[in-house]
């Protein structure tokens, strides 16, 4: 059993997008795409944990520019080799906990990253996130709801309250993967700060949390990201 989340996603990269092929989830994915494209329309935005670029392709259709980051080169290799109609994306390998980025953005998106953050590291994670977004910007997270019959069952838990799934890859390997399913009130507690506007939406298979703040983080001029696609 491998417990290393980074190694798991590196091994899973080639088969990762199978999760977007589940027939019962197509309606939700269409709805989420429309919501995200509207929120980030015309913005210079940051996408953390971009993975294989499935959401990046869709965000880039309406955003002014997208800085897409991930810790896994195997994921980024797949993302870089996709077609992006507007050529307005920069890909960088980056660890949000030890980020070397110093540019702030108008909006930030994290897809399916919240559930993989250990509970005792959430506050530090959110501090890093808030420091990346300009005053008046939007922070948006999406992640999975637990749906019996569609979601992988929870197989383990730890003393810190984290839950885990046992997953299998096509090579036959077995992995214990951190996967938390937060309640709406927990998300509100963690994401609500003075002066902001928090919104939670539950679809059939996914949740969406939106923070639009009067003072999310430092306010600096924003400009499109240079070196599009994979020149870093």
| Enclosing domain of residue 61 | 5-146+183-213
Nearest to 69 by CA among 100, 43, 39, 42: 100
Nearest to 1 by CA among 162, 136, 156: 156
Residue 19 domain-assigned (yes or no): yes
Residue 21: partners with Cβ closer than 8 Å, 6 or more residues away: none
Residue 161 domain-assigned (yes or no): no
The separation between the first and the last C-alpha atoms of the chain, rounded to the nearest angstrom, is 34
Domain tally, the chain: 1
pLDDT for 32:
98
- Model confidence, pTM: 0.90
pLDDT for 186:
98
Given pLDDT bands bounded at 50, 70 and 90, which one contains residue 3?
Answer: low
Which of 65-74, 125-134, 196-205, 209-218 shows the lowest mean pLDDT across its residues?
209-218
For residues 18 and 222, give the distance between their C-alpha atoms in angstroms, rounded to a whole number.
Answer: 35
pLDDT for 101:
87
Instruction: Return the CATH number at 67.
Output: 3.40.50.150
Given pLDDT bands bounded at 50, 70 and 90, which one contains residue 196?
Answer: confident
> Do 138 and 108 meet the contact criterion of CB atoms below 8 Å apart?
yes
Q: What is the pLDDT of residues 113-168, one digit of tens each?
A: 999 999 999 999 999 999 899 988 999 999 999 999 999 999 999 999 999 999 99
């Amino acid at each position: 059993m491998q417990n290393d989340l980074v190694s798991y996603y590196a091994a899973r990269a080639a088969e990762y997008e199978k999760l977007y092929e589940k027939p019962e989830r197509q309606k939700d994915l269409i709805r989420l795409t429309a919501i995200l494209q509207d929120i980030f329309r015309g913005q210079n935005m940051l996408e953390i944990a971009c993975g294989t670029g499935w959401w990046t392709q869709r965000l880039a259709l309406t955003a002014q520019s997208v800085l897409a980051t991930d810790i896994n080169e195997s994921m980024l290799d797949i993302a870089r080799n996709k077609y992006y109609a507007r050529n307005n994306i920069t890909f960088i390998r980056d660890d949000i906990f030890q980020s070397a980025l110093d540019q702030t953005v108008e909006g930030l998106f994290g897809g399916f990253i919240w559930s993989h953050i250990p509970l005792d590291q959430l506050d530090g994670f959110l501090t890093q996130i808030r420091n990346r977004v300009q005053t008046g910007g939007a922070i948006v997270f999406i992640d999975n709801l637990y749906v019996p019959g569609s979601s992988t069952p929870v197989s383990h838990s730890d003393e810190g309250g984290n839950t885990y799934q046992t997953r299998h890859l096509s090579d036959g390997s077995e992995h214990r993967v951190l996967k938390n399913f937060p309640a709406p009130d927990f998300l509100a507690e963690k994401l609500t700060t003075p002066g902001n506007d928090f919104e939670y939406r539950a679809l059939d298979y996914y949740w969406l949390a939106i923070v639009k703040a009067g003072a999310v983080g430092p306010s600096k001029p924003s400009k499109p990201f240079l070196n599009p696609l994979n020149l870093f």
